[in-house]
Amino acid sequence: MKVTVNGKPEDIQPGVSIASFLGQRGINPQMVIVEYNYELPSREEWDRIFFQENDNLEVIKMIGGG
């Protein structure tokens, strides 16, 4: 199934949630903001949102500095 992740097309398996997608890539969910189809779902929703064909996901990593 094709989805767009950070502007690039990716093939992912059906039945993958946002939470499992992040986990498969070793991304700490506490360190990112996710935009899914141009909306900002809460972290509590990430395990209940499953990708569909042609979805769009933006994963923005938070970086501290000073």
The pTM for the full model equals 0.89
> What mean pLDDT do residues 55-64 have?
90
Summarize pLDDT for 15-33 with one digit per residue, the tens. Answer: 999 999 999 999 999 999 9
* Sequential DSSP letters for the chain: -EEEETTEEEE--TT-BHHHHHHHTT--GGGEEEEETTB---GGGTTT-B--TT-EEEEEE-----
CATH number of 2-61: 3.10.20.30
pLDDT of residue 8: 98
> What mean pLDDT do residues 34-51 have?
97
